[in-house]
Amino acid sequence: MRQFLRDSGHLVRPAVVLVVGIAAFLLIRTALIPKAFGKYGHYDAAALDRIRQHPVAFAGQDTCVMCHDDQAKARAAGKHAHVSCEACHGPQAAHANADDPSAHKPALPDVANLCRRCHEKDAAKPNDFPQVVTAEHSGGALCTACHQPHNPHL
Amino acid sequence: MDLSRRDLFAAGGKLLILASVGATLEQITGAAPPSESYNVAEHWWGMIVDIDKCIGCGNCVRACSKENQVPQGYFRTWVERYQVGEDQQPHVDSPNGDIDGFPADTRTDVKSFFVPKLCNHCADSPCVQVCPVGATFVSPDGVVLVDKNYCLGCRYCIQACPYGCRYLHPETNTADKCTLCYHRITQGLTTACCEACPTGARQLVDFKNPQDPVHEYLRHNKVQVLKPYMATGAKVYYKDLDGSVR
């Protein structure tokens, strides 16, 4: 054995260096590559979970209706039946998820600008969509002076 | 303890080899992440957009901006107004992405309509193909996402997207785009833009759900994707799309 090492040491030593090098490469590679990498493709599958961690701002129609049953009924009876609550009232997850929702009361929408965003006359809007030239239609009066926003017929 | 240099190297080498084998084994056989109620294999997300229902109110743009904290001046979704004369050459405007609405259009000599735009979540996405580091990918449920931990900010994907749907986030300096509200749709909610759309012009759809109305919808309506000649496998279907839309 001693004789063998003396004669072929020049081969054994680089072989050991090579094996150690490969081992170091594998070790570093394993440490750097995330566990879930390659699970679905050439990317880190854990990114899906990270992206899912993003907080929700819009609670969703079903959540609103859980408490605001009365407004939901009024809305369902009128032409705004298909308009979700948060389309006008804005994102309400903070209100809905609060321990005491009444302490996080959402601000009322700015009616002067809210209604006309949808209903101001515009040639690009579909013809069958109800539109008015607000200046001629109400002469500056707020829409809510005549219309109930949840069920806007007169 | 008397330790020669030779012994030290020998012991170190053995340790290194054992450790790397162990670590590799652990990675191969590593425990799978805990199963959850959402199964990526059961969904294939997309959207249908009904041009004739869009009123250009900008609710979708504002909702997206609030839901996803989109930096000011950047848009994951926006609305374009097309004014098309008889020569079919469109004049397109989208002031600030429609986040503040459009100035009233009174022209009657042109055909005019609104076109909401967003990431088409292409099945064969050019942006995914050009990413050099695997930072952007099509998820198993058909959503094109960006892993900002991997993104270098090289902007290849921004140039590759035929629809102009990507931007470089000014704070993180990584590519950013519509996630189809992945954090919402994976817990049973619809996207923020669909939630806020007052006319139902946008509908989130799941092509793998046999109960989804999209199957009925695609059987009964004439639909088109944007730039079909790019063969991107776009999954946002537009109903009644005019030929002048780019």
| Three-class SS of B9-53 | HHHHHHHHHHHHHHHHHHHHHCCCCCCCCCCHHHCCEEEEEEHHH
* Structural domain for B96, as ranges: 44-246
Express as a percent the part of chain B with pLDDT over 90: 81
Cβ A154 vs Cβ A82: under 8 Å: no
- How far apart are alpha carbons B131 and B144 in whole angstroms? 12
The beta-carbon neighbor of B195 closest among A46, A51, A86 is A86
The answer to whether the Cβ–Cβ distance between B63 and A86 falls below 8 Å is yes
* Domain shared by B148 and B238, yes or no: yes
The mean pLDDT of chain B is 91
DSSP state at residue A151: B
Interface probe for A, chosen from B36, B57, B121, B144 (most Cβ of A below 10 Å), is B57
* Domain shared by B24 and B54, yes or no: no
Domain count, chain B: 2
pTM (2 d.p.): 0.85
- Cα B49–chain centre separation: 15
* Domain shared by B180 and B97, yes or no: yes
Of the listed ranges A135-139, B139-143, B195-199, the one predicted with least confidence: A135-139
Residue A93 has pLDDT above 90, yes or no: yes
Q: What is the pLDDT of residue B31?
A: 42
Of the pLDDT bands very low, low, confident and very high (cuts 50, 70, 90), residue B15 is: confident
* Domain shared by B213 and B91, yes or no: yes
Q: Hey, which residues 111-140 in chain A have their CB within 8 Å of chain B?
A: 117-118, 120-126, 129
Average pLDDT over residues A74-86: 92
Residue B28 has pLDDT above 70, yes or no: no
* Domain shared by B129 and B91, yes or no: yes
Chain B contacts of A55, Cβ < 8 Å?
183
- Which residue carries 């407004």 as its tokens? A71
* Domain shared by B17 and B57, yes or no: no
* Domain shared by B202 and B222, yes or no: yes
Q: What is the pLDDT of residue B35?
A: 44
Angle at A60 between CA A59 and CA A63, to 5 degrees: 80
For chain B, the straight-line distance linking the first and the last C-alpha, in angstroms and rounded, comes to 78
Interface probe for B, chosen from A118, A133, A136 (most Cβ of B below 10 Å), is A118
Residue B127 has pLDDT above 60, yes or no: yes
The answer to whether the Cβ–Cβ distance between B23 and A51 falls below 8 Å is no
Give the closest-approach CA distance of A25 to chain B in angstroms. 9
ipTM of the complex, rounded to two decimals: 0.86
The beta-carbon neighbor of B53 closest among A19, A86, A126 is A126
* Domain spans of chain A, in order of start: 2-52, 61-145
* Domain shared by B72 and B54, yes or no: yes
* Domain shared by B26 and B74, yes or no: no
Of the listed ranges A73-77, B184-188, B192-196, the one predicted with least confidence: A73-77
- Does A19 touch chain B if contact means CB atoms closer than 8 Å? yes
Chain A contacts of B145, Cβ < 8 Å?
47-48, 51
